[in-house]
Amino acid sequence: MWQNVFVLLASYLFYGWWDWRFLILIALTSALSYASGLLIERGRRRKTVMWSNIVLNLAILGVFKYYDFFAQSFANVFLDGNADNLLLKLVLPVGISFYTFQALSYSIDVYRGTVGATHNIVAFFAYVSFFPQLVAGPIEQASSLLPQFEKTRTFDYKVAVDGLRQMLWGLFKKMIVADTCALYVDRVYAMPDAYGGPTLVMAAVLFAVQIYGDFSGYSDVAIGTSKLFGIRLRRNFNVPYFSRDIAEFWRRWHISLTSWFRDYVYIPMGGSRVGRWRIVLNTFVIFLLSGFWHGANWTFLAWGAFHALLFLPLILLGKNRRYRDTVAENRHLPTAIDFGRILLTFSLVTVGWVLFRSPSIGFAAHYISLMFGKGSAIVPWGGDYTILLPAVAAMFCVEWLNRRCGHEFERQCRYMVVRWLGYSAIIFVIVAWMQTNEMPFIYFQF
Amino acid sequence: MKRFILHIALFLLSSSLATALLLWSFGGTGHLRNVTYTLGGADFLYTKAREVREHSGMDVLFLGSSHAYRTFDPRIFDRYGINTFNLGSSNQSLLQTEVLLGMIDTLKPRLVVLEVHPDIVAIDGVEASIYQVCNVEPSWRMVPMVLRTKNMKVYCTAVYALLHNSFSSSFKHFTESESGGNRYAGRGFVERDVEHFTPTPVPADTIRMRGDQLSALRRCVSILRKREVPYILLEVPDTKVQTAAYINLGEFHTTMKQYGDFYYIPMDELDDSLHFYDVTHLNQDGVALYDEFIYDTLIKKALKGVR
């Protein structure tokens, strides 16, 4: 009980620090889902209650996140782009997409019977607002996280130390790898016409590294922090850039969101056990929804559609489950063929990230066309990139060595002195090379 | 849990030591992004911070930014029998002024003039903090200033400067040389050749006073009051084009008046072209004119009222 009260207070303090008014929103989302769980348990009009909760929560999300997008799109078509009287211009509450999905999973799980309705309101509110993963995930499903809040947690030395280790690795990925990449990427994306093709290709590759370092770094910090509280969150990234095809990539990238859409949208729609055209439809729906979840912009939809197109041939040919294992399972290095597949997958994903990073589809098309232009690879003026290549190389080396582990910094030397020297070296690198201006997490905007 | 806390404490201690040693070892190579050690500069802070030891029982101590060390010339005040020292430094914000105020124990001034400028209350003080930790001998007074910047570059440079300046002979035997037409004239004043400024319109701008700078000003005032050292707040004139560009100069003046006797005495005789070398700094002709003016209108009267 008191553990959850502490977690709840800490979570609301954490969220309210940003803007206390949005505490009302998260409390409302929690209350709606909590009440829906109890009503579903009573057994009357269970489906209506579940759908009411889904509609209400999505309505809140829609108003804050998507209303202006649709209003502007409507105005562009029917009002010559004049949307001044239609736009609400609301501030997007941080993490709304994450906690809304987490709250929704509860009522769906209760309806399905995979989890019982909880009567412990403190535990439930703590589940929805748990601060380490509140603003950028991982998105937990009620069946895996809620039971952890319903029991007393005990401190485990090994788990706590492992959590700290994971946090340190996450901080390295965010503060050194991602933020240094951002210096390069932001400058090139601000003026793509000023650079030659090789520089634009380099910026596209570095954005792929940046978004991975940024988002998986956050996830590592969130999962590591949760371990200190005795809470196990699901793994959100599993060395995605070592994937050999797009299907494997999607099993390893933003796993919590992919699983959410798979379990609550894709499988209820029939998944891949339906006719050929329905599979095509289901695949597009899932990827478009996934893209649109990221933000109200046509670029995210295009990014989703691009991945759907890459994924479709695999699922139609029944090859989407070809790589269930980890690359180079019993080897130190991948075979040449696997290496080629990894490179090809990474290249395709990188093209997708251009759509994701661009402010508009027109910009993305222009950027991609410039990537094939001539010119030399130059380093954009104004940044300190000393640490960039060593840091990126170090990150991929460590992750390659730990690719079969529970997380990318799990395997450790048995000698404490060596371990501590290693941790101190990482802390020194962070301290000596971190950016000193504010570098927000990319996924905070979603 | 006990074992965990013990190990964390031990690790933090050893890791902090290791980080400090690594910063010291590699800070001078120029490859660490967050160590930007610079010894010496246009304001001769290194020299003047050492010169302080040779002076005591000053009549007036001036503190502030480049507007202070390029405006108050002790040689002009000498003519009136007033012994002054100028502890102004480049971009010195009130966070740095607070640290330098510690030197009043040595200088024992009868009056402190805190130069305040609209641009200075609007800066974060990071650059000046780094510069100060590099050029002034380490002291405990610097610790709060360093921490208040909340900037890793300041922290890292401070650690490097602390170790380097404490143990390296290059710091003790450093000699600041003239550069960019700046000459050290003694007792903190930096002189330049007479240059003239061609005024061009300055874009309108709002003064955005920072809460941390106003808090630092409050602490500066508190230090002076506690030690019963009389002080005045003074804004030195800018060019007329610059003054006209401040949208809310009145608000700035009203705010400054909350912290003590604040003076902003425009001097009509100052000509943007003849008496300034850039948009905010007087040239030596302007200094001669303004210092005599400010002595007559303000300093003389202010000193009469103190022991």
- Res. B173 pLDDT band, cuts 50 70 90: confident
Whether B166 and B138 have beta carbons less than 8 Å apart is answered as yes
- Residue A105: per-residue pLDDT: 94
pLDDT in tens, B219-238: 999 999 999 999 999 999 99
Of A160, A423, A436, the CB nearest to B153: A436
Tokens of B104: 């009043």
Q: How far apart are CA B295 and CA A270, in angstroms?
A: 89
**The predicted structure's pLDDT at residue B306:** 73
Residue B66's pLDDT is what? 92
Whether B29 maps to a domain, the answer reads no
Best mutation target, B1, B3, B4, to test chain A (most A CBs within 10 A): B4
The alpha-carbon gap from B17 to the nearest alpha carbon of chain A, in Å, equals 9
Q: Which residues of chain A have a CB within 8 Å of the CB of B18? A: 421, 424, 428
Lowest mean pLDDT among A269-278, A436-445, B171-180, B234-243: A436-445
Rounded Cα distance between B50 and B136, Å, is: 8
Angle at B110 between CA B109 and CA B113, to 5 degrees: 75
Residues of A in contact with B156 (CB under 8 A): 431-432
In the set A254, A294, A307, A407, the catalytic residue is A294
Domain membership flag for residue B14: no
Evaluate if residue A88 carries a pLDDT over 90.
Answer: no
CB contact under 8 A, B19 and A427: yes
E-strand stretches of chain B: 60-63, 84-86, 111-115, 182-186, 189-192, 231-234, 262-263
| Closest among B235, B236, B218 to B226, alpha carbons compared | B218
Q: Is B199's pLDDT higher than 70?
A: yes
User: Of A225, A217, A73, nearest to A163 (Cα)?
Assistant: A225
pLDDT computed for residue B218 by the predictor: 96
Q: In this prediction, what percent of chain A has a pLDDT beyond 70?
A: 100
The predicted structure's pLDDT at residue A59: 93
Task: Taking residues B101-105, report their average pLDDT.
Answer: 91
The arithmetic mean of pLDDT across residues A335-360, rounded, is 95
Q: How many whole angstroms separate alpha carbon A378 and alpha carbon A198?
A: 8
Digit-coded pLDDT (tens) for A98-141: 899 999 999 999 999 999 999 999 999 999 999 998 888 799 99
Cβ contact (<8 Å) for A423 and B11?
Answer: yes
Cβ contacts of B1 on chain A, cutoff 8 Å: 155, 157
Mean pLDDT for the stretch of residues B181-197: 86
CATH number, position B60:
3.40.50.1110
Residue B23 lies in a domain: no
Residue B21 lies in a domain: no
- Does B58 reside within a domain? yes
Identify whether the C-beta of residue B126 lies closer than 8 Å to the C-beta of residue B153.
yes
Could you tell me the CA-to-CA distances from A139 to A11, A144, A436 in Å, in that order? Answer: 16, 11, 30
Residue B218 makes CB contacts below 8 A (sequence gap 6+) with B259
* Percent of residues, chain A, with pLDDT higher than 90: 68
Compute the residue count for chain A.
446
Q: Is A366 a catalytic residue?
A: no
A153-167, A362-376, B165-179, range with greatest mean pLDDT: A153-167
Contacts of A277 (CB under 8 A, 6+ apart): none
Alpha-carbon gap, residue A136 to A216, rounded angstroms: 10
CA atoms within 13 A on the CB side of A194: 11
Least trusted range by pLDDT, from A92-96, A199-203, B56-60: A92-96
Instruction: Read off the pLDDT of residues A293-318 as tens digits, 9 standing for 90 and up.
Output: 888 889 999 999 999 999 999 988 88
Q: What is the mean pLDDT of residues B40-69?
A: 91
| Summary mean pLDDT of chain B | 92
Contact B2, B10 (CB under 8 A): no
Better-scored residue on pLDDT, B182 or A336:
A336
**What pLDDT is stored for residue B57 in this prediction?**
87
Which chain B residues have any C-beta within 8 angstroms of a chain A C-beta? 1, 3-4, 7-8, 11, 14-15, 18-19, 22-23, 26, 31-35, 126, 151-153, 155-156
Range of the domain at B269: 39-304
Q: Is the dihedral of CA A340, A341, A342, A348 positive or negative?
A: positive
* A159 → chain B, closest CA residue: B4
Mind telling me how many Å the CA of A142 is from chain B's nearest CA?
29
For residue A229, the distance in angstroms to the closest alpha carbon of chain B comes to 12
A420, B14 Cβ separation under 8 angstroms = yes
**Domain residues of chain A, as ranges?**
2-149, 158-244+323-436
Q: State residue A95's pLDDT score.
A: 86
A113 contact partners, CB below 8 Å, separation of at least 6: none
Query: Prior bond to A138 cis, omega within 30?
Result: yes
User: What is the rounded distance in angstroms from the CA atom of residue B270 to the CA atom of residue B282?
Assistant: 9
Which residues of B fall within a CB distance of 8 Å from A420?
Answer: 11, 14-15
Average pLDDT over residues A17-45: 92
Residue A417 has pLDDT above 80, yes or no: yes
d(CA B238, CA B67) in angstroms, rounded, equals 9
Task: Please indicate whether, in this complex, the C-beta atoms of A424 and B23 are within 8 angstroms of each other.
Answer: no
Nearest CA in chain A to B12: A424
Asked whether the beta carbons of residue B11 and residue A433 sit closer than 8 angstroms, the reply is no
Residues 6 or more apart whose CB falls under 8 angstroms from that of A414 comprise: none
Residue A341 pLDDT greater than 80, yes or no: yes
Judged by CB atoms closer than 8 Å, whether chains meet at B1 and A432 is answered as no
Across the interface, whether the CB atoms of B151 and A436 are under 8 A apart is answered yes
Whether the per-residue pLDDT at B304 is higher than 90: the answer is no
Per-residue pLDDT, averaged over A64-73, amounts to 84
* Contact between B96 and B128 (Cβ < 8 Å): yes
Give B14→chain A minimum CA distance, Å. Answer: 8
pLDDT of residue B307: 62
> Burial code of A403-424, b = ≥16 C-beta within 10 A, e = fewer?
beeebbbeebeeeeeeebeebb
- State the average pLDDT over residues B1-19: 94
Tally the domains of chain B. 1
Residue of B nearest to A425 (CA): B19
For an interface test with B, the pick among A424, A426, A433, A437 (most B C-beta atoms closer than 10 Å) comes out as A424
Q: How far is B115 from chain A (nearest CA, A)?
A: 29
Q: Which residue type, as a one-letter code, is found at position A156?
A: D
Look at residue B21 in the predicted model and tell me its pLDDT: 95
Alpha carbon of A390: minimum distance to chain B alpha carbons (Å): 13
Q: Do A420 and B14 touch (CB under 8 A)?
A: yes
Q: Which two tokens stand for residue B216?
A: 């630092």
pLDDT digits 0-9 by tens, A178-204: 999 999 999 999 999 988 899 999 999
DSSP 8-class letter at B246: B
SS (H, E, C) chain A: CHHHHHHHHHHHHHHHHHCCCHHHHHHHHHHHHHHHHHHHHHCCCHHHHHHHHHHHHHHHHHHHHHHHHHHHHHHHHHCCCCCCCCCCCCCCCCCHHHHHHHHHHHHHHHHHCCCCCCCCHHHHHHHHHCHHHCCCCCCCCHHHHHHHHCCCCCCCHHHHHHHHHHHHHHHHHHHHHHHHHHHHHHHHHHCHHHCCHHHHHHHHHHHHHHHHHHHHHHHHHHHHHHHHCCCCCCCCCCCHHHCCCHHHHHHHCCHHHHHHHHHHHHCCCCCCCCCHHHHHHHHHHHHHHHHHHHCCCHHHHHHHHHHHHHHHHHHHCCCCCCCCCCCCCCCCCCCHHHHHHHHHHHHHHHHHHHHHHCCCHHHHHHHHHHHCCCCCCCCCCCCCCCCHHHHHHHHHHHHHHCCCCCCCCCCCCCCHHHHHHHHHHHHHHHHHHCCCCCCCCHHHHC
For residues A295 and A278, is the Cβ–Cβ distance under 8 A?
no
Per-residue pLDDT tens digits for A207-218: 999 999 999 999
- Look at residue B295 and give its three-state secondary structure: helix
Helix axes A336-357, A361-371, angle to 10 degrees: 140
Percent of chain B's residues with pLDDT above 70: 100
Find the mean pLDDT for residues B138-146: 92
Say which amino acid occupies B66: S
Helix (H) or strand (E) holding B104: helix B104-107
Q: Which of A171, A420, A428, A433 to mutate to test the interface with B (most CBs of B within 10 A)?
A: A428
Asked if A16 and A134 touch (Cβ cutoff 8 Å), the reply is no
pLDDT score of B197 more than 90:
no
A374-415 pLDDT, tens digit each? 777 777 777 788 899 999 999 999 999 988 888 888 888 888
CA atoms within 13 A on the CB side of B287: 25
Mean pLDDT of B64-91: 93
Is pLDDT of B129 > 80? yes
